[in-house]
Amino acid sequence: METFCQKLPKIELHAHLNGSLSKSTLKQLGCSEESIKNYQETLTDIKQVFNQFQVAHNATNTLENLNLATKCVIEDFAKDNVIYLELRTTPRSEKDLSERDYIETVVEAIRNYESSKIIVKLILSLDRRRSWKEQLDTLDNIIDLKQKYPDLIKGVDLSGDPGKGEFFKKLFEKARDNGLKTAIHCGEIKNDNEVMDILDFKPDRIGHGTCLHPDYGGSEEIWQKYQHLKIPIECCLTSNVVCLTSKSYEEHHVKELLKNSLPFSLATDDKGVFNTTLSKEFTVLGQTFSLSKNDLWNISRNSIDYSFADEEEKGFIRFALEQWKIRNI
C-alpha cells in the first residue's frame, strides 16, 4: 500500500507554503539546530501548531530565502509524485519586503521551477486574524497581480487561527467578481454561524470541513445544507488528528464523506509542521478505511475536477493519470 501510494500520481490542493518547510529546508535557510530542535516534536494541540509557524516565518523574511523556500517545497512535492500542486501562502510585509514583493517572489520561484513532472499554481491567503482594512489591502494587491500572472494566481483562501477573527463575505465576493476562485477554511473548529455564512457564500472548495456533520461538531441544519451543495472538501487527516480537531484517523469526518459519496481531496496542510507527505495521507486513508488501489486512484482522479487548473491543463493531468493506471493497476 505504501509503495503504491508513493508511486501514485497525486494532486495536492491544500498546502500552506510556510507550514510545508521540511527540517532540512529550514536548515538550508539558515535556522540553527537549536531553533528547530523542537520542530515537529512538541505539538499537542492547535495552539501549539500555530506557535510553530513562527519558525518558518522567521526564516522566510527575505526575498532570497522566500525564493529558496518556495523552490524546496515544490521539489519535495515533486519527489513525492505530486503532479499538480496548488500552493497557498499569506502575503506579508517584512523589513525589506512589501506584500507585493512577497507575492512576486513566490510567483518568480514557481515560474523558474522548470520541470515536466509537476504543474504548480498559486492561491493567496487572507489571514482571518487581520482587520477588514488589512485584508482588503491584501486582496487589492492580489487582484492587481492576478492581471499580471493570470495563469499562475488562481484563487484566494481564508486561513489563520480558526479561533480568532472572522469571515468577511464581501471580500470574497470581490475576489470572485475579479475572477479568483475561492477555497475557504470552514468549520475547522465548531462555529455554526460562520459555517452557515460560508456555505451561503458557496466557495469553490472548503478547507477541512470538520464540524459540518452533527457527529463531528456540526448540526443537522448545516449537514443538510452541505449535502445539498456538495462543495469539494480538502481533507487533511494528519493535521486534524495532531491538532485534536479529529479524535483519530478512524473517527475522522472523511468517513462520512466516503459513506455518502461526497466530493473530497486529500491534502497535507502543513507537511513540514505535521511531518507528513501526501503519500502518507493516502496510505493512512487506504489502511484506515480498507480502500482498494482503484479507490485511491479515483480520489486522485476526482481531485483534478476540483482543482483550479484550466480545462486544457485538467485534460493533460487526467491523461497522465489514465496512462499510469493502465501500467500500474
Positions touching ligand 6MZ (CB under 6 A) are 16-19, 49, 53, 89-90, 125, 127, 159-160, 162, 185, 188, 239, 243, 269-270
Q: Which residues of 127-159 are buried (b: 16+ CB within 10 A; e: fewer)?
A: bbbbeeeebbebbebbbebbeebeeebbbbbbb
Q: Which is nearer to ligand 6MZ, 69 or 296 (CB)?
A: 69
Nearer of residues 231 and 243 to ligand 6MZ, judged by Cβ = 243
- Outline where the chain has alpha helix (H): 2-7, 23-28, 46-59, 63-79, 99-112, 132-148, 169-177, 192-201, 220-229, 237-242, 254-259, 278-288, 293-306, 311-328
Per the DSSP assignment, residues forming a β-bridge with 12 are 85
Looking at this protein, which amino acid is placed at residue 250? Answer: E
Which is the catalytic residue, given 188, 194, 234, 281? Answer: 188
Distance of CA 102 to the CA centre of its chain: 19
Query: Is position 64 annotated as part of the catalytic site?
Result: no
Report CA-CA distances (Å) from 168 to 10, 126, 207. Answer: 32, 10, 16
Could you tell me the three cell numbers for 311?
Answer: 480545462
Toward ligand 6MZ, which CB reaches closer, 188 or 204?
Answer: 188
3-state SS assignment for residue 156: strand
Alpha-carbon distance of 127 to 138, in angstroms, equals 9
Q: How far is the CB of 187 from ligand 6MZ (least distance, A)?
A: 11
CB closer to ligand 6MZ out of 18 and 22? 18
67-71 contacts, C-beta under 8 A, 24 or more apart: 67/105, 67/106, 67/108, 67/109, 68/25, 68/28, 68/29, 68/109, 69/17, 69/18, 69/21, 69/25, 69/29, 70/17, 70/105, 70/106, 70/109, 70/110, 70/113, 71/109, 71/112, 71/113
Closest approach, Cβ 161 to ligand 6MZ, in A, equals 7
- Which positions are catalytic? 188
